[in-house]
Structure 1
C-alpha cells in the first residue's frame, strides 16, 4: 500500500482485501416465500439457513452487500459483550441472563462449526476475550460482573494483569472466544445461498410493506415482491409496524484504526470498561500481523470533530504498541435498545409474518448469527428457547422506562438546540475538502466543497422528524443526533430511520470556486 493513502473516504480492511460479487437491482415485480431486507451478517445468514431448509428466498440490499455495519465491524466473535451479565440478572433474572449467554455462545459455536465443516478460509482464530478496568469505580463494576459470571457458570478467569502495556486494576477473561475475517466467511454463505436457489438484488431499497391483496415488500422504484414472510435485517428496520423503533433505540458511532505495530503482540482480545473505551485485537494483512484499535464511542451526530477520535486512537496505539505503519481507518454505527438486548422476532404481537432483527449494540457477529438461527426457527415453525428473551414487543419497566424518557428528552433537546443555533459563515469560506454548517440566504444550511471546488449545498433539517443534522468530517456525511439517520454530501440517505433525502439547495455557478487559496480563513457573513 502506498504511504500517500488518503483518509477522506475511509474503507475498512475487510472490504479492501475481499472481492465481492455484484448483483443487479430488482427491475420488475417478483415473488418468493421469504423476502429478507438487508445484506449484512443477519440477512445473509438467515437467507443461507432458510435456503438450506428448501425455502424460496429473495435477499434485497439497498446499496451493496456487506457495506454497512457488518463490513465495518472489528469482527470479534464473543459472548463477552462489555459489562452486561450483572445488569441482565437485575432486569431479566438469572434465567434471562443465562439465556442471553447461551444464545450468543451457540452463535459462536455455529460459526466455528460452519467454518470447520466447510473448510472456509476466513482466518478464524480462537483467543480469550478480556474486559479490564483502570479505575476504582469501574473495578467495583467489574467485581460484580465477575460474580455474575460465577453464578451463571460462565468459564472465566479474574486477574489483576493483562498482556498488553496498559495499567489495569482488574481483568475479566472469558475463555475460548474467537475472531475472523467476516466478509470471507459470509462470502461462502452467500455462494451457498445462491447454489440453493436464492436470489439477490443489490441497490434495491425497500420502503414499505403492503398486506392487501397479499403480503409484499414495496421498493423505492415501485416494484413489489409478494411473499409469505418478510424479515427486516436492515440495521434500522425499514418498516416500523407501529413498533416505534426510532423511540426505543439510539445510535452510537465508534472508530477503528488498523496499524502495523512496532512491538510484538502477545495475543488476546481486549476491551476497556472505563471511558474512553479502547478495544484491541490482532488480524492480518498482506501476510503481516496487524492490530485493530477501536473505541471512542459516542452518540451519532454528537461530540467533537470526528477526526479527533481517529487521532485519539492513534495516540493510544503509538503509546501502547508503537506504529510502524498506519494502514486503515474506518467507523461503524450500531443501535442500542432500551434494555440492551436486541429486538429479534415477530415485529408485533399480531403474528403477521413480519420479522425484525436489530439493536446489537456493536456485538453483531454473535448477535446477528443468533438472530438468524432464531428467525429460521420461527419461520419454519420450530421451537426456540430464546423467543421470549429477544421478543421485539417486550417492555421491561426498569430500565426501559428510564431509557425511553432519557432518549426522548435527548431528542427534544437536540431539536430545540438545532433550530435555535446561530451560524455565521458562508460557503465561500470553506476550504477544498471541507464541510460544515453555514448560513445561506439567512437560513441554516449544510455545505461541502470538494477538491475541484464544487460546492454541495443541502438543507440540514433531517427528513425523519425535523432535527438538524451535523457535519461528520471523518466520513464526510451529515449525521442526525436525534435518531441516527445519516446522509451523503448530496443529501442521499445512508442510514435510517430517515427514508427521504435531505433537500438539495441550488447554488449559483459563479460561486463554484476552483482556485480558493488553501490558507484562506473563514470570514463572518
Structure 2
C-alpha cells in the first residue's frame, strides 16, 4: 500500500535520457538527497542533471515519517564517548542547520508543504538514566534540549528528552516544488560508471562531478560501502480518530520503541523494526495494529507502508568524497533513520565540496574516516551476518517441498531437487525465482508482510515476481 505522501501529491512525468550528453555535475538519484543537492548546485551557478531509475520521489523519500529533526536517538552521548567533542558538535550543528535551511527554502519559495514547527521527544517506558545522559550531552553541544516526564503521550514514561525548534512536513510536496526548475531524466537507470562517464540504459553522460545519492551505493569498489553498512526496515500505520499530539516522538525501548507524529488529522504510528532479510515469520503490521487498538480503540487504519534505512558502523552518515581514488565522485548514504535532515546536510556538504568552499562539518561526515572505537562491534556483527547468509545459500537445504506451500504464502523450498524461492498466490499460481541475490550472492529470505524477497546481507529487495525494488542490486532475479 502506498504512503499518505504518495497518495496526496502528483508529479508531472519527466522524459528519459535520449542519447549522450556532457555536464558539469550529474546526480544519481531523484529522492530528497539527490534533488536537494542538484538544487544547491543550481543556486551556486552549476547546471546539474539528475538521473533517476524510476520517477522523482519514488524511492525512500515517499516512505519517510518526514520528521525534520536533529534528535536522532541516543546519538549525542554516544558520539561524545566514541568520536569526541569535535565530531559530536559538528554533527549537532549540521543537523540543526538543516532544520533552518528547510524553513528558509520553504519561506523563500512559498512552498505549501504542511511545514510545522514541533518539539521532538525521545522517551522510555523502562529507564530514565540514558535519557538524562542524552539531554546533558545535547545541551552541551548547543541544542535546546531538556529532560522531562511531561510528554502528552497516552501512556506514562520514565523519562524523555525534549528538543525544541524541530519540524515536520509533507516531503513530496516540498520535493515536487524544488525539483521544478531542475533537469531530471526519469526512467534512466545507471548501469556503471567509468571515470567521468556514466553509462545508463538510455545513453552516456560525461560529467566533471558525479554524485551518488541513490540511497545505497551500487558500485562496490572503490569505497567498499557494502562492508560498512547494513539495512533495516520499519513499518507505519496512518490512523484516523486516534489523537492529536504536541510533538514528534520516538521510543528507545526495544519492545515499545514506537514512532508517533500527526499529519493533519491523522496519526502516524510506526515501529516494529528489524534488519532487512530477517522477518521470515512476519507479523510486523499485526504488532502495530494490536498496539494501536489497545491505545486508540476507536481509531481506523487508512494506510500502511514501510521504509528502509542504511545503518553505518559508527552511527554517522557517509557524506563526501566517494573514495580517495575518485576525487570527483561524491556520495550521500547511511542516513540511519533520519533521511530528511541527513539529505539537507548532504546537499550542503557536497555542493560546498564541488564548489571548493570550506565547510566545518566535512571531517565529521567524511566517508574516509576511520573510527575503530565506534565501529568495531558493528563491523564484526555485519561480517558475521554476511558469512552466515552466504553459507546458508550454499549449505542449507530448502525448508519444505513446494507442494506443501499453502496459497498466499512464500518461502525457500525444494523444487525438482533444487532450492528456489516460491510465492503461491491465492489462486494457486506459483512464482518461482532464484534465491541468489545478484549483488554479492547471499541467500534471499521471504518477507510475508510485504510479499518480497529481501537480502539479509546488504538489503537488496525484490517483489514476488523477482523485480528489483531496492538497491544495491541492479538486476532483477533470475526465474528458475
Query: Which bin holds the TM-score, normalised by the shorter protein?
Result: over 0.9
Residue in 1 aligned with 2:372? 397
Choose the corresponding residue for 2:311, options 327, 336, 354: 336
Choose the corresponding residue for 2:191, options 199, 202, 207: 207
Question: Per the alignment, do residues 141 and 424 of structure 1 end up closer, same or farther by CA in structure 2, a change over 3 Å counting?
Answer: closer
When structure 1 is superposed on structure 2, of 331-340 and 63-72 the one drifting more is 63-72
Distance 2:22 2:406 in 1: 50
Matches within 5 A, 1:380-419: 380-419=355-394
Residue in 1 aligned with 2:214? 234
The C-alpha deviation readout for 1:241-281, integer Å capped at 9, x for no partner, is 4111001001000110110134x423211110111320000
SS at match of 1:274: coil
Choose the corresponding residue for 2:468, options 464, 471, 493: 493
Choose the corresponding residue for 1:149, options 138, 158, 163: 138
Query: Is the CA contact (8 Å cut-off) linking 1:317 and 1:323 kept in structure 2?
Result: no
Query: Is the CA contact (8 Å cut-off) linking 1:14 and 1:183 kept in structure 2?
Result: yes
Q: TM-score under structure 1 normalisation?
A: 0.88
Residue in 2 aligned with 1:269? 248
The C-alpha deviation readout for 1:204-250, integer Å capped at 9, x for no partner, is 11121112xxx11111x262101100000011113244111001001
Query: Is the CA contact (8 Å cut-off) linking 1:432 and 1:453 kept in structure 2?
Result: yes
Deviation (angstroms), 1:424: 4.9
Residue in 2 aligned with 1:464? 439
Choose the corresponding residue for 1:111, options 90, 102, 106: 102
Residue in 2 aligned with 1:140? 129
Report the structure number with the largest CA radius of gyration. 1
Query: Is the CA contact (8 Å cut-off) linking 1:129 and 1:175 kept in structure 2?
Result: yes
Query: Is the CA contact (8 Å cut-off) linking 2:34 and 2:213 kept in structure 1?
Result: yes
Q: Number of residues paired by the alignment?
A: 479
Flag structure 2 segments of 5+ consecutive residues without an equivalent: none
SS at match of 1:33: strand
Residue in 1 aligned with 2:448? 473
Query: Is the CA contact (8 Å cut-off) linking 1:232 and 1:239 kept in structure 2?
Result: no
The C-alpha deviation readout for 1:30-78, integer Å capped at 9, x for no partner, is 2211110011100011111112222121111112221111110000000
When structure 1 is superposed on structure 2, of 480-489 and 35-44 the one drifting more is 480-489
SS at match of 1:395: coil
Query: Is the CA contact (8 Å cut-off) linking 2:192 and 2:198 kept in structure 1?
Result: yes
**Superposed CA RMSD:** 1.7
Flag structure 1 segments of 5+ consecutive residues without an equivalent: 1-9, 194-198, 506-525
Residue in 1 aligned with 2:237? 257
Counterpart check, 1:216 vs 2:216: no
Q: TM-score under structure 2 normalisation?
A: 0.96
Distance 1:52 1:450 in 2: 50
Query: Is the CA contact (8 Å cut-off) linking 1:261 and 1:322 kept in structure 2?
Result: no
Deviation (angstroms), 1:383: 0.9
Counterpart check, 1:37 vs 2:24: no
Query: Is the CA contact (8 Å cut-off) linking 1:161 and 1:169 kept in structure 2?
Result: no
Distance 1:227 1:424 in 2: 48
Distance 1:428 1:222 in 2: 42
